Amino acid sequence: MSQVEACYQAAKERYAAIGVDTDQALEKLQKVKISVHCWQGDDVKGFMNPRGDLTGGIMATGHYPGAARTAEELRADLEQAFSLIPGKHKVNLHAIYRDTSEKVDLNELEPKHFATWVDWAKKQGLGLDFNPTFFSHPMFKDNYTLASPDKSVRDFWVEHGKRTRKIAAYFGKELGQTSINNFWVPDGMKDNPIDRLAPRQRLMDALDEIFAEKLDEAYTQESVESKLFGIGAEAYTVGSHEFYMGYGITRNKLICLDAGHFHPTEVISNKLSSLALFSKGIMLHVSRPVRWDSDHVVLMDDELMEIGRELVRNDLLKVTHIGLDFFDATINRVAAWVVGTRNTQKALLRAFLEPTEELKKLELANDFTARMVITEELKDFPYGDIWNHFCEINGVPVGLEWFKKAQAYEEGVLLKR
């Protein structure tokens, strides 16, 4: 018996004593797919704009060496990351990651410009999600795209949005799993607007135009992502939380919550149960805001654990698509992916290892003492031994061993770029 296995058996007994079946918890975890965002691999540059100017109120800071410069490099880096992450997952692409030698603009994209991604995803057993790119482009005019007062600007972006739907449907059909197409629109104003309503009306109408055609939901579904503010859009964001709550619920779209898109002390974990009651489903951008929407790599912090618990306790995994959204250019990008993805999985595992029914009963009986004592003791339970076993049975390195592989890849590949 390996040491990991021996520790697993001991931990399994401890959990069994509080009524938790660890094998069942791992079966549940095995089924959860995380949508790993491609854009951590090149600091959101994409392959359309050689200078990589990032606009739209988001920002990647840092010059760590080794960023992917081509689709082949990005795929190789993703493969490296997935070799260190247990389970089978999805990759989340943005339109600017089109892989073609043709000079096609965002309003000209077709499925064929993503064929190499689909072939690769098939070989790797991965799903693909998608995002229209409403930023880093000359048609992002005066901080506006779909909400622009200029019809020619709106038309360009409406066409882009429509085309991304066809591409996402192609992903879904080819890969046999629904491709979530997430709409985030950065439009906003630096300083206080006079008219907050008209841009929202225009955004609503433009989105309705994009979504007018009915597509097979087995292939693709759309989500809409709100935001409080961006750099250069500090005073007003057209696509606010209220805007997309209304839009998503009335238009039957998934609602995307990004952990960094709210006031600094406002958390998305507390929103999930309400969304579950009223929305068609949820898309998550698991991220970590540090004082603002800074998109730091996801750590095992209180909010991540609370998100995991809310999803598991309320049985929301069946209506939730979990995506990641962070981009740190000051560290090894493969390591960033691995830490963020493994942490998200670990947070879910910790939630699966909770005697939830028992705790719900105690709460109903007003036994708040027992509720507190048990949840606090649970924090010391050996979930790490369960996690290590999960890594071992999935054939990925346990503990710090994965980092040695990531370092070797950096030495042999990334630093040679």
In the complex, the residues that contact ligand RNT under the rule CB under 6 A are 39, 44, 58, 94, 131, 184, 225, 227, 258, 285, 293, 325
Contacted by 58, from Zn ion, ligand RNT, none: CB < 5 to 8 Å by type:
ligand RNT
The single residue of 45, 113, 137, 227 carrying the catalytic annotation is 227
Q: Quick check: 325 binds Zn ion (CB under 5 A)?
A: yes
Q: How far is the CB of 293 from ligand RNT (least distance, A)?
A: 6
Please, how many CA atoms are within 13 Å of residue 380, restricted to the half-sphere of its CB? Answer: 4
Nearer to ligand RNT, 184 or 352 (CB): 184
Q: Does residue 129 have an active-site annotation? A: no
Three-class SS of the chain:
CCHHHHHHHHHHHHHHHCCCCHHHHHHHHHHCCEEEEHHHHCCCCCCCCCCCCCCCCCCCCCCCCCCCCCHHHHHHHHHHHHCCCCCCCEEECCHHHCCCCCCCCHHHCCHHHHHHHHHHHHHHCCEEEECCCCCCCCCCECCECCCCCCHHHHHHHHHHHHHHHHHHHHHHHHHCCCEEEEEECCCEECCCCCCCHHHHHHHHHHHHHHCCCCCCCCCEEEEEECCCCECCECCEECCCHHHHHHHHHHHCCEEEEECCCCCCCCCCHHHHHHHHHHCCCEEEEECECCCCCCCECCCCCHHHHHHHHHHHHCCCHHHEEEEECCCCCCCCHHHHHHHHHHHHHHHHHHHHCCCHHHHHHHHHCCCHHHHHHHHHHHCCCCHHHHHHHHHHHCCCCCCCHHHHHHHHHHHHCHHHC
Nearer to Zn ion, 239 or 308 (CB): 239
The single residue of 99, 222, 293, 410 carrying the catalytic annotation is 293
**Are the C-beta atoms of residues 130 and 95 closer than 8 Å to each other?**
yes
Q: Does residue 227 have an active-site annotation? A: yes
Q: How far is the CB of 258 from Zn ion (least distance, A)?
A: 4
Q: How far is the CB of 227 from Zn ion (least distance, A)?
A: 8
Residues 244-263 that bind Zn ion (CB under 5 A): 258
Q: Does residue 184 have an active-site annotation? A: yes
Q: How far is the CB of 258 from ligand RNT (least distance, A)?
A: 4
Q: How far is the CB of 310 from ligand RNT (least distance, A)?
A: 20
Q: Quick check: 285 binds Zn ion (CB under 5 A)?
A: yes
Contacted by 39, from ligand RNT, Zn ion, none: CB < 5 to 8 Å by type:
ligand RNT
Q: Does residue 293 have an active-site annotation? A: yes
Please, how many CA atoms are within 13 Å of residue 63, restricted to the half-sphere of its CB? Answer: 0
Nearer to Zn ion, 113 or 241 (CB): 241
Task: Give the residue at shortest CB distance from ligand RNT.
Answer: 184
The single residue of 261, 321, 346, 389 carrying the catalytic annotation is 261
The single residue of 129, 258, 303, 385 carrying the catalytic annotation is 258
Q: How far is the CB of 327 from ligand RNT (least distance, A)?
A: 7
Q: Does residue 296 have an active-site annotation? A: no
Q: Does residue 261 have an active-site annotation? A: yes
Nearer to Zn ion, 285 or 321 (CB): 285
Residue type, 225: E
Nearer to ligand RNT, 25 or 339 (CB): 339
Q: Does residue 225 have an active-site annotation? A: yes
Binding mask 335-364 for Zn ion (x = CB under 5 A): ------------------------------
Nearer to Zn ion, 109 or 257 (CB): 257
- Residue 320 burial (10 A CB sphere; 0-12, 13-18, 19+): buried
Contacted by 227, from Zn ion, ligand RNT, none: CB < 5 to 8 Å by type:
ligand RNT
Q: How far is the CB of 37 from Zn ion (least distance, A)?
A: 8
Residue positions annotated with a catalytic role: 184, 225, 227, 258, 261, 285, 293, 295, 325
